[in-house]
Chains A and B, each alone.
Chain A
Amino acid sequence: MKKNLITAILMTVATTILLGIIYPLVVTGLAQLIFPRQANGQLIQKDGKVIGSSIIAQGFSKPGYFHPRPSFGGNGYDPTNTNGSQLGPTNQKLIDRVKGDVANAQAENPSSPVPIDLVTGSGSGLDPHITPASAEFQLPRVAKERGTTVEQLRALVQKHTEGRQLGFLGEARVNVLELNLDLDQQFPGNKQAEIH
């Protein structure tokens, strides 16, 4: 009993040093060496300043931008408070929230039902993607605001659409932040003054 207790204490210390300190530091070193961009969060810089991460959503509400999915972590799109809404399927709050968002979305596109991902919160609150269906849904509004045609804009959306990985894994998706940044480059439109 006493011998095993001493071993338990020493084993905790020794394995903590090996598995709790050496292992993660070695992995950090290797990761920084081999995949520095990925290991540091795929940050996007503009004029020397960080303006976001390629794989973390930001909020967009102006009509001239594509809108991401709603976020319910912290104040929204907050990587220091990641969360979903946690609302259950029969919760009246969920039903009312979606109803309101559907009404807002349909103000711009009254005839068609809203793609489900555009009015439901993601798991992380940071989902960087929308479905191609949601991008298509928003095309007419953004094209009008940007003073361009739906066809031209669709080509830009397709540029930022990722297909299934290896051809069959996951789902096709559109990266909203990267698309919007490119949108500012390609179609500054008459909104440039307001945006910057």
Chain B
Amino acid sequence: MTINGWLQILFFLVLVFLVTKPMGVFMTRVFNREKTFMDPVLRPIERLLYRVTGVDEDHEMRWTEYAIAMLLFSLVSMIVLYLMQRLQAYLPFNPQKFGAVNPAHVAFNTAASFTTNTNWQAYSGENTMSYFTQMAGLAYHNFVSAAVGIALAIAFIRGIARRQMQTIGNFWVDLVRGSLWVLLPFCIVGALVLVSQGVVQNLRPYDTAKLVEPMQVPKVADGKPVVDAQGKPVMDTVTDQTIAQGPAASQEIIKEFGTNGGGFFNANSAHPFENPTPLSNLIEIVAIFAIGAGLTYTLGRMTGSQAHGWAVWSAMAILFLVGVTAAYWAEARGNPLLAGTNQHATALQAGGNMEGKEVRFGIANSALFATVTTDASCGAINGWHDSYTPLGGMIPLVNIMLSEVIFGGVGAGMYGMLIYIVLAVFIAGLMVGRTPEYLGKKIEAYDVKMAMLVVLVFPLVILAFTAVSSVHGFGTAGILNPGPHGLSEMLYAFTSGAGNNGSAFGGLTVNTPWYDTTLGITMLAGRFLMIIPMLAIAGNLAGKKYVPPSLGTFPVTTPLFTLLLIGVILIVGALTFFPALSLGPILEHLLMVAGKTF
């Protein structure tokens, strides 16, 4: 670890702190339908959208209607994305003449993945998707799945803030205002800033470059290396390099800002065309946290308890710092099994475990990116988590297992955190023997039952599918790295799916019927089976009377509350997943230190 590395990490956290209030205030105004400086441009577009789609913007929805509208929109847009992939050969903007996305289970998996804000990728963008599918299918879902997430968080916050009301807002209005006001303007500016750093943005066919030095590569026929009579591989001479192009920047910025994470190219933000410089890297990670951080301020503002918003922010910041410290430490130490290499940090190199990482980011920015992308449900990567050291790779995994509430996915992080808050005040209430209250609302049996449903669905799908995969050939066949690391690969896949993260231990071969289908189901369950109980709590809270705080009320604005919240998050996460972690990354770490390989 270096001083410069820490300087960058702390600088990043300061930037997140600085964007929290402006983002939070702005989102409050947008969703309270107050005036903003963008209204002259956006309000006409908004009105036009309502007219075309038949939305009555003054209609208020109960939680059930809100949920149904959200589900219908997700279903319709998911079907459209599936069809778009299958029919892309007949659609425009396809200079590479890519055929349909095949087989069907890959297209299903991708449709589920992008609709649920997961952006798990069973395909490689640069050799599968047309520019049209990338723009109108994948980047489009980056926008709306993020807007849906924000809408849900706002609906939950309204549930807390409203008193004796049956409604929590209008889904369509929240969707449109989130897309137009919160996401779109920032993305236009942000995309252009990324282009200035070198992120590509064009519609041209792939370029062919004449290599400066032709390369010798093993000749392959029918997927097998060709060998001569002596059994030596036959070599081919490669003289050209095909440089994949495309409208990457417009997708790149919403990929981060909407915590989606699906790369335009397979290598995601490790690709020089997606993340060319340390500055583009910084913009991308700040964009990942911006909305999640802002929503803590919105929570405080809408519920009239700004100190509570900051108490939640602090819990998130502390958990972030713990994670990034552990990941940075583990990666900077390097891999003791690689003899004859220099892994020390010096003035001339960052050192550490550089397998799967880029030189321009080194160790500090790679560990930081891996922590941020999994604290939030983003899933973009700037280096492959599969090649991280066992403990360095465990941090992203644990972050997702904690339900990605550390600033969190846009909206999803906030409503995930609110579930933990409900549990925290419930536990605090039990300890003093009073009915728990949260910001003037009594937390009763119904709310706690729904919160527990959310907390239980998540590990259930992860552990059940991982267990089945680990004892059947169709599961273990996909493993690239044997030993405990193989279990980590499967565990990471289902955790990432259920958490709607989308990052992977990429060695696992997942474009098989088993993984595509089960991960598709996992992603849908991880999104919608959590949203529905969450909305039920919101609807129930909205209907309750306001109870003024009394001496016996557990205050949710103090450092004690922050600590209790962190405690609940860690205990729920650790108790559930510790056995699986000890058989995967923890065991691998101990064996690595002992010099064992697989």
Chain A residues with CB under 8 Å of chain B are 1, 3-12, 14-16, 18-21, 23-24, 26-28, 30-32, 34-35, 38-44, 49-53, 55-56, 58-62, 65, 69, 73, 75-92, 94-95, 98-99, 102-103, 106, 112-117, 119-134, 136, 164-166, 168-173, 177, 180-181, 184, 195
Contacts and interface: CB of A to CB of B under 8 A. Distances in A.
A77 B215 contact: yes
Contact of B213 (A41, A58, A99): A58
A42 B485 CA distance: 39
A69 to B, nearest CB: 7
19 contacts: A7-B54, A10-B54, A16-B140, A32-B201, A32-B202, A34-B192, A38-B196, A41-B202, A41-B243, A51-B209, A79-B265, A82-B126, A86-B356, A87-B507, A88-B488, A98-B338, A124-B358, A165-B279, A170-B361
Given A41-B207, A53-B243, 6 more contacts: A20-B139, A20-B140, A28-B247, A39-B195, A84-B386, A169-B279
Contact of A123 (B204, B251, B267, B596): B267
B382 interface: yes
Contacts of A52: 209, 211-212, 241, 243
A40 B359 contact: no
A92 B597 contact: yes
Nearest to B211: A58
Contacts of B245: 40-41
B445 interface: no
Contacts of B54: 3, 6-7, 10
A122 to B, nearest CB: 5
Contacts of B65: 4
A170 B282 CA distance: 9
Contacts of B351: 116
User: 7 closest A-B pairs (Cβ-Cβ)?
Assistant: A170-B278, A123-B270, A20-B140, A20-B136, A88-B481, A82-B267, A86-B507
A66 B133 CA distance: 39
B387 A24 contact: no
Contacts of B265: 79, 82, 124
A136 B270 CA distance: 25
A112 B202 CA distance: 45
Interface residues of B, number: 134
Contacts of B195: 27, 31, 34-35, 38-39
Interface string B37-63: 000000001000100111100000000
B346 interface: yes
Contact of A81 (B126, B207, B352, B381): B126
Nearest to B204: A40
Nearest to B76: A8
A49 B240 CA distance: 12
Nearest to B197: A38
Contact of B485 (A27, A91, A99, A115): A91
Interface in B187-226: 187-188, 191-192, 195-204, 206-213, 215-218
A134 B349 contact: yes
Given A78-B241, A170-B362, A99 B266 contact: no
A117 B67 CA distance: 50
Contacts of B72: 4-5, 8
A122 B356 contact: yes
A87 B249 contact: no
B140 A56 contact: no
A24 B127 contact: no
B595 to A, nearest CB: 10
Contacts of B483: 90-91
Nearest to A130: B359
Contacts of A15: 49, 140, 143-144, 176, 179
A26 B77 CA distance: 23
